[in-house]
Amino acid sequence: MHSQIEKTLNVVADLDSWDVGAVAGGMNYLLLQSAINTVVRMLPDQPEEGSGLEQFTEWEAKMRNPEIQEKVAPIIGTAERVCDVLEEYSSAPVADFQSVLEFMTSRPPQKSSFEAEYNNRKRMGMKPGMPLKQFVDLEYQVALTRHQNLIAKGEAAVLALQRITGSDGDLPEWLLEALNAKALQKLEQRWMRAELRRTNPKIGKQDRDLAEANQKLIEAAIVELGGEIPKDTSVEDKDEDLDDFIKKVEGIAAK
């Protein structure tokens, strides 16, 4: 297990159970999503109906590709460790491969998201060298193809993943960075929720004081993980996937 992941989990475990559920739940979702996408990319296309025995035999051999296990076993092992923390320190529902796949395939790409991405790049001084419509059309087509592959191969990917034993191997650097960013993002969102309660005159002083104390703990966790404490209440809740996922799969609303 990577030391940064263990550090993050140890820091998060000291927080309120709702905060643990939000942060560790977001990390678990990201890990399972990454494992599914990795296997989908590596699986061969299934032979068309009526193909000969030789083609199916070749396809089955490719399905047992040992490189699949090498790539995803560390991701599965990390997800299992995150789930241990979720189950011990939170009552939040724990996602599995099947429920994550169902959620992923239920959300086809939308062109509006790529319009927002184009405008975001412009604000960052990284405007793509093409008109908005061309950028959106190209990005949408790539995302649509990826989504169609997910629908076609997702179930086979989940079956393959369920047979693989997790390991303590190293995660790719990009995934470590994504997990750290996810943890900080969820902590900032929890800080926002605490801020809304701390400054709400409609709730009692005791609840406001509890929210302030909780906010201080979150701030300490953010600093410990290398983030910056939000300076105002304008933190954007850009990641609604986990809350939506909890509502859809478990039928409960995230706090």
Per-residue pLDDT of the chain (255 residues; tens, 9 = 90+): 578 899 999 999 999 999 999 999 999 999 999 999 999 998 887 766 667 777 767 777 777 778 889 999 999 999 999 999 999 999 888 999 999 999 999 989 999 999 999 998 998 899 899 999 999 999 999 999 999 999 999 998 999 999 999 999 899 999 999 999 999 999 999 999 999 999 999 999 999 999 999 999 999 999 999 999 887 555 444 454 554 554 444 333 333
Give the whole-angstrom CA distance, residue 15 versus residue 175: 24
Which two structure tokens, joined as six digits, stand for 131? 């008109």
Helix (H/G/I), strand (E/B), else coil: 136 = helix
Q: Which tokens is 96 given?
A: 């599995």
**Residue 58, amino acid:** E
Spans of all domains in the chain: 3-250
H-run or E-run covering 28: helix 17-42
- Cα separation, 124 vs 152, in Å, equals 36
- pTM for the model stands at 0.82
Residue 25 and residue 96 in contact, taking contact as beta carbons nearer than 8 Å: no
Q: Is 80 within 8 Å of 169 (Cβ atoms)?
A: no
